[in-house]
Amino acid sequence: MKLKAKFPCLPGNTFYAEVRRRVNNDFKENNRSTNANKLMWFKACLFLTLFMAFYLIILLLPLPTLILSFLTILLGATCAFIGFNICHDAIHGSFSSSKRINSFFSFLFNMVGANPYVWNITHNVVHHTYTNIPGHDEDIEVAPGLIRICSEDELKPHQRFQQWYAFPLYSLASLSWVFRKDYKKFFQKSVGACAHKHPKIEYFNLFFYKFLYYFIFIGLPILVMPLLWWQIVIGFVLLHMAQGLTMGLVFQLAHVVEGTNFPLTNAEGNMEEAWAEHQMRTTANFATECRVSAFFLGGLNRQIEHHLFPKICHVHYGRISGIVKQTALEFGLPYHENTTFLSALRSHFRILKKMGRAV
């Protein structure tokens, strides 16, 4: 088994201590909680209401095919927004100070097709610790053999076109998650360099809630809707293409853009920089001035703040971003950001094009 990369504790390295002190003081001085506020609860109610409304309308009303398809796409995007805005914070423990509330909203991840236990391992533990480190962070292994984003990976002839076919592949990410990824991650010996022994209850949870999800989104529509089974399957695929493309783009634009690094361990298997400095070099923000992006993307357009402060609810990232940026500049660290979604998308396109060709 590969060894876990270790981050050094360098003498005189005070960036993380200083930025935490400043952020903590800001919350104390303004008497604010780091957990959900009224806006967060409004968003949770809104997206869950939209989810139920779209699902029941699709299931119960005899609508024309074109309208059904449009509503299915909206339902897929809403599933992604539930993951971004509700489940993501809850699994990090930042939605509420109550473990019960966090646990309840974490459970909802099952209803968008993903397993919260597996996500906690792959995302909270591995990705947040070993961000963008090849061989450790499996979140950057998008369609291995098809998409190349690290110069250390073998270059294959077909990858010269990857900047064109990558985006359709992203739309399949959610389908892969529902039918393959969770099972694969659960039963492989380790995720990255982290081995896990799963509690017995998680074996039951994995299969039971997957079956429940398949029944709610495939079985029940076949039983209830006046459509043929293959039409239901097409709708299910359409839903997940919308969900997958939404999810895939957001995660890629935060880590696979120009300026972000994919650092390797040294000869001893360790990293050269401390963990917080590593986060500043491997993570990027985008569309930071767009309130619409901030509302729908659950703060994931401010990944720098999220990676440094995953226990702070995302509705506060806009407030603390100025503190983080100023502190980073004072310590001579990069603060990667693309001002718009389109500029981040273009940057990601250029990275794909560059990595698809021999340097």
pLDDT digits (tens, 9 = 90+) for 81-98: 999 999 999 999 999 999
Residues 107-121: what's their mean pLDDT? Answer: 95
Least confident segment among 8-12, 201-205, 217-221, 313-317? 8-12
Please give the pLDDT value at position 1. Answer: 47
Structure pTM? Answer: 0.93
Residue boundaries of the structural domains of the chain: 15-355
For tokens 């998409």, what's the residue?
147
Q: What are 76's strand-pairing partners?
A: none
What is the rounded CA–CA span in Å between residue 107 and residue 349?
A: 35
pLDDT of residue 3 exceeding 80: no
**Cβ atoms within 10 Å of 97's Cβ, excluding its own:** 12
Residues 23-28: what's their mean pLDDT? Answer: 97
pLDDT of residue 192 exceeding 80: no
What is the rounded CA–CA span in Å between residue 200 and residue 162?
A: 41
pLDDT cut 90: percent of the chain above it: 82
What region does 122 belong to: left with phi over 0, alpha with psi -120 to 50, or beta? alpha
Look over the chain and give the mean of its residue pLDDT values, rounded to a whole number: 93
Q: What is the DSSP string of 104-168?
A: HHHHGGGGGT--HHHHIIIIIIIIHHSTT-TTT-GGG--TTTT---STTSPP-GGGGGHHHHHHH
What is the rounded CA–CA span in Å between residue 298 and residue 277?
A: 24
pLDDT of residue 359 exceeding 70: no
Amino acid at 133: I
pLDDT cut 70: percent of the chain above it: 98
Rg of the chain on CA atoms, in Å: 21
**Cβ atoms within 10 Å of 140's Cβ, excluding its own:** 23
CB 204 within 8 A of CB 135: no
CB 275 within 8 A of CB 17: no
What is the rounded CA–CA span in Å between residue 108 and residue 36?
A: 17
What is the rounded CA–CA span in Å between residue 324 and residue 238?
A: 39
In degrees, rounded to 5, the angle at the alpha carbon of residue 59 between the alpha carbons of residues 58 and 65 is: 45
What is the rounded CA–CA span in Å between residue 307 and residue 318?
A: 14
What is the rounded CA–CA span in Å between residue 88 and residue 260?
A: 23
Residues 101-125: what's their mean pLDDT? Answer: 95
What is the rounded CA–CA span in Å between residue 22 and residue 13?
A: 16
Could you report the per-residue pLDDT of 28-73, keeping only the tens digit for each? 999 999 999 999 999 999 999 999 999 999 999 999 999 999 999 9
pLDDT band, residue 135 (cuts 50/70/90): confident
Amino acid at 207: F
Could you report the per-residue pLDDT of 264-275, keeping only the tens digit for each? 888 777 888 899
**Cβ atoms within 10 Å of 62's Cβ, excluding its own:** 7
Please give the pLDDT value at position 2. Answer: 59
pLDDT of residue 277 exceeding 90: yes
What is the rounded CA–CA span in Å between residue 114 and residue 35?
A: 24
Please give the pLDDT value at position 349. Answer: 96
CB 96 within 8 A of CB 34: no
Judged by DSSP in three states, 194 sits in: strand
Least confident segment among 246-260, 265-279, 327-341? 265-279
pLDDT band, residue 12 (cuts 50/70/90): low
